[in-house]
Amino acid sequence: MKVNGTPTRTVWMEGSTVRMINQPLLPHRFEIVDLPAYTDTARSISTMVVRGAGAIGATAGYAMAQAALAAPDAGFHDAVAEAAKVVQATRPTAQNLFYAVRRVLRAVEACGDDLTAAREAAVAAAQDIADDDAACCEAIGRHGGPLVPEGARVSTHCNAGWLAFVDWGSALSPVYVAQRQGRRPFVWVDETRPRSQGARLTAWELAQEGVAHAVIADNATGHYMRTGQVDLVIVGSDRIAANGDVANKIGTYSSAVVAAANGIPFYVAAPTTTIDPDCPSGDRIPIEERGQDEVCYTWGWSDEGRFIRVRTTPNQSGARNPAFDVTPAALVAGIITEKGIVPATPEGIASVARR
């Protein structure tokens, strides 16, 4: 995808340094962050400098590669294993993170005591994870593109575009394919409180690609569905259980329920690395609860050109802040993967799941 006309990935690695887009500054400022050590890269995940299932996975893989490059010869494998614990502790819900850590660890362990080979294997595995993520998302666009006909009005939630992955994105990839094929889709962009990833990130992406869209308050989605102004919903996912239940950004479940009530197909787009075959149902998916300040405060640019935080709730009011919810498989019309569109059933999931 492009930033001001220049092809750009969300995260990449140069030498032993991880480089990524500083997402909290978007859409008002575009900045690349350099992260020299795996602890810096891990911190970028927990602080949401990078976010989104695929981007988190690629970043975790790069962090593990950095750890292998920096680990001393004495106690090498112990140091890499300790780094894995640090990376895995950054966020609990996104399956891609755990997939990436396991994949790099397996590559390192396969080299045994050949530490030069182990370091090279870690870097190669991390790069393969990132490249695979980009390729999967491009394939999701090819498979999902036909679902977006001429002038289709698509509703989405949060950001599951290329900023949430290495490139192309999941939920927005079919939209980008439709746009580039001249079908002129329109996207309803939920704000997605409390961090407003829809208003800040999805809207920015769509503007970069010239896709017609409108940012709406989360609570407006049902209105546009009931009044016949939404043709389909496509959202992403942070973890898909073996039975087809889907965890995604908080508010996704509400959108799915209203879509079902209005006969609107609700699709989930995700690479198969998001599937957790060892998780039997959505009830077993850990739901991250983030700090209450994200609900009590809002960040933005003032008219004077300053990036500031303002409180929007009473000082004496506390808040709750679950980052995700679970949409039952029965509400999902299909899951768009790099291998094709499969039903949200145990059989459908098993047919494409990786380990």
Residues labelled catalytic: 238
Residues 270, 214: Cα–Cα separation, whole Å: 24
Find how far residue 336's CA is from the centre of its chain: 15
Residues 285, 240: Cα–Cα separation, whole Å: 9
**Strand runs labelled E in 217-318:** 232-235, 239-241, 246-249, 266-269, 275-276, 297-301, 307-311
Specify whether the CB–CB gap between 32 and 81 falls below 8 A.
no
* Residue 284 CB-half CA count within 13 A: 12
- Taking the CA atoms of residue 120, residue 121, residue 127 and residue 131 in that order, the dihedral angle to the nearest 10 degrees is 140
**Strand runs labelled E in the chain:** 2-3, 6-7, 11-14, 17-21, 32-35, 153-156, 186-190, 212-216, 232-235, 239-241, 246-249, 266-269, 275-276, 297-301, 307-311, 324-327, 334-337, 340-342
Q: Which residue has the tokens 């978007």?
A: 26
Residue 26 sits at the vertex; the CA angle it makes with 83 and 286, to the nearest 5 degrees, is: 45
Q: Which amino acid is at 134?
A: A
Residue 145 sits at the vertex; the CA angle it makes with 144 and 148, to the nearest 5 degrees, is: 105
Q: Which residue has the tokens 């500083």?
A: 22
